[in-house]
Structure 1
Amino acid sequence: MKNVSIIGVPMDLGQTRRGVDMGPSAIRYAGVVERIENIGYVVKDEGNIEIALAERVHNDLKTNLKNLKAVADASERLASKVDHVITNGNFPLVLGGDHSIAIGTLAGVSKHYENLGVIWYDAHGDLNTADTSPSGNIHGMPLAASLGIGHPTLTNIFGYMPKIKPENIVIIGARSLDEGERELIKEIGIKVYTMHEVDRLGMAHVMEETISYLKDKTDGVHLSLDLDGLDPHDAPGVGTPVIGGISYRESHLAMEMLAESNVVTSAEFVEVNPILDERNKTATVAVALMGSLFGEKLL
């Protein structure tokens, strides 16, 4: 049975709404360690990555990126920790924090794979750069940065680029894409299941296609699950909610199918903001989905 290492990343510097730095604590409070142990795994909580108290800056006039150095420093530390966990043979489970943490997670994971697949479960594409971002918030850029697109400080985390290839990515649940992101998706050919496809095909079909698409051409798959991929009714405690999202039941089915396929080799759950939440509902949902991802069954 594989060991799981939990890494908390209390980062709120990739955007401007405070509170998401408390996400890892909320997820732990919701019982993540006990939940995964009860399935039969050995769980080691590695604690939190240290996040510097950055001077919160407006957009750097040279780069249009908020808190660039602080985000990059945290990403390097996270990449190193994830690399260490995988080297020791453990499954890295990263708890966010805003989605900018994926830059560090993917940098640490991808080093161990020739063709890492990525499932990006999110309302957003996170494919912006300094040139296309309306806000300068780095949590809207981690997928682009991991593809080697964007500011060199972000694309070169852990000393190499790119971390992933466009043909090895599947975005699921998209329903809010900026113009620059739409152009990039078409230009480099990223597979996207918007909510239109989820509704039209059904989640079971979407996951069957996703697993089939990634299984033969990748040697590992990273799941990056943003809780705003779910509908705000089910996951209200997120910084950038978009109505009309994936349901709680559909999300459980997706995680169960991933567990059955045995393709996922690392995962992160991000954007849990307890300040915006209702009685820790979103962290509780995150933990329940982790249970399904790790093979929890009703019977």
Structure 2
Amino acid sequence: MNKNISVIGVPMDLGQSRRGVDMGPSAMRYAGAIEKLTTLKYIVKDLGDIPINRPVNNESTDGTNLKNLHQVIEANQQLADMVDEEIQKYNFPLILGGDHSIAIGSLAGIAKHYKNLGVIWYDAHGDLNSSETSPSGNIHGMPLAVSLGIGHDKLVNISDYVPKIKPENIVIIGARSLDPGEKELIKEKGIKVFTMHEIDRLGMPNVMSEAIKYLKDRTDGVHLSLDLDGLDPSEAPGVGTPVLGGITYRESHLAMEMLEESGMITSAEFVEVNPILDEKNKTATVAVALMGSLFGEKLN
């Protein structure tokens, strides 16, 4: 894995409706993210946080039900530009969120550097909604759809190219809460999904082996987008949209260890850490521990 890591914090809480997730980057830094990576012999450059402009209110804009649309677009374009610049310097972008709407900017900045960028979406949710299918209008439930070119014109056109990724290059792991429109889109586009049913039935080693094998030959880089609500709430309580019956702490470490061994991960983000909903920064600590496994931490 690239030994030069650029850490970018995105204190975004405008893609959803529960305050606190904007403190996620600080919580992960406080839990020792930078020190962990430095101890693992990486050259780490912490670029600080992207400034987020708060709206006067969160009413719909541009005649849609999308909350805080202009601010989300602005922040994601800044993130896309920053990530793009770091990849041009041959650095590994590690993005700390913030709600999952920031993946729009991450993928916009990353995908232009690859012909076939793969995406591992480690999440309880599909994040494949649009304004037509979203029950809430929260943009953090839309980043994967937006990156496929589905959604509001200004969101899909961030960084001026559409789409960012192809449906056949996506693997969703840990899904257990999908809206009807998301299920239809998954079937229509043929997106590969390992639900909790598959994880329970096959076991995490087989799921990860299949995911790695599936992406290995068809992609020239893979972005890991890890939402902490992919884990069970007992392991990661500090998230805005917890869903019971999730991935265990140990299964998640195994997944990260197998991704590190595959050598295929070229960028990553850890999102949806909400310290206000957490227990003694437990979720941020879990996130940092998983970063350790992703970047090669071993017991021996």
Task: Say if 2:194 is the partner of 1:202.
Answer: no
Classify the secondary structure of the residue corresponding to 1:210. helix
Q: CA deviation at 1:39?
A: 0.8
- 1:71 matched residue in structure 2: 72
Counterpart of 1:128, as a letter, is N
Classify the secondary structure of the residue corresponding to 2:183. helix
- 1:150 matched residue in structure 2: 151
Figure out how many residues of one structure are paired with residues of the other and give that number: 299
Q: CA deviation at 1:150?
A: 0.6
Counterpart of 1:263, as a letter, is M
Structure 2 unaligned spans of 5+ = none
Q: Distance in 2 between matches of 1:75 and 1:283?
A: 22
- 1:137 matched residue in structure 2: 138
Classify the secondary structure of the residue corresponding to 1:158. helix
- 1:51 matched residue in structure 2: 52
Classify the secondary structure of the residue corresponding to 2:244. coil
Q: Does the 8 Å contact 1:106/1:163 carry over to 2?
A: yes
Counterpart of 2:217, as a letter, is D
- 1:168 matched residue in structure 2: 169
Q: Distance in 2 between matches of 1:285 and 1:177?
A: 25
Q: Distance in 2 between matches of 1:50 and 1:113?
A: 27
- 1:8-54 CA distance string (max 9 Å, x none): 00000000100000000000000000101111101000101111112
Task: Say if 2:104 is the partner of 1:114.
Answer: no
Counterpart of 1:213, as a letter, is Y
Structure 1 unaligned spans of 5+ = none
- 1:153-178 CA distance string (max 9 Å, x none): 11000111100000000000000000
Q: Distance in 2 between matches of 1:250 and 1:59?
A: 39
Counterpart of 1:115, as a letter, is N
Q: Does the 8 Å contact 2:117/2:220 carry over to 1?
A: yes
Q: Does the 8 Å contact 2:100/2:227 carry over to 1?
A: yes
Q: Does the 8 Å contact 1:4/1:92 carry over to 2?
A: yes
- 1:16 matched residue in structure 2: 17
Q: Does the 8 Å contact 1:7/1:94 carry over to 2?
A: yes
Q: CA deviation at 1:269?
A: 0.2
Q: Distance in 2 between matches of 1:54 and 1:9?
A: 16
Q: Does the 8 Å contact 2:60/2:69 carry over to 1?
A: no
- 2:124 matched residue in structure 1: 123
Task: Say if 2:258 is the partner of 1:257.
Answer: yes
- 2:227 matched residue in structure 1: 226
- TM-score (norm. length: structure 1): 0.99
Classify the secondary structure of the residue corresponding to 2:80. helix
- 1:187-239 CA distance string (max 9 Å, x none): 01100000000000000000000000001010000000000000000000000
Q: CA deviation at 1:61?
A: 7.5
Q: Distance in 2 between matches of 1:116 and 1:60?
A: 31
Q: Distance in 2 between matches of 1:127 and 1:56?
A: 25
Classify the secondary structure of the residue corresponding to 2:23. helix
Q: Distance in 2 between matches of 1:234 and 1:208?
A: 24
Counterpart of 2:231, as a letter, is L
Counterpart of 1:166, as a letter, is P
Counterpart of 2:159, as a letter, is F
Q: Distance in 2 between matches of 1:93 and 1:61?
A: 32
- TM-score (norm. length: structure 2): 0.99
- 2:90 matched residue in structure 1: 89
14-23 vs 46-55, greater mean Cα deviation: 46-55
Q: Distance in 2 between matches of 1:53 and 1:215?
A: 40
- 1:211 matched residue in structure 2: 212
Counterpart of 2:261, as a letter, is E
Q: Does the 8 Å contact 1:236/1:281 carry over to 2?
A: yes
Runs in 1 of length 4+ with deviation above 4 angstroms?
A: none
Q: Does the 8 Å contact 1:55/1:67 carry over to 2?
A: no
Q: Distance in 1 between matches of 2:143 and 2:280?
A: 29
Classify the secondary structure of the residue corresponding to 2:155. helix
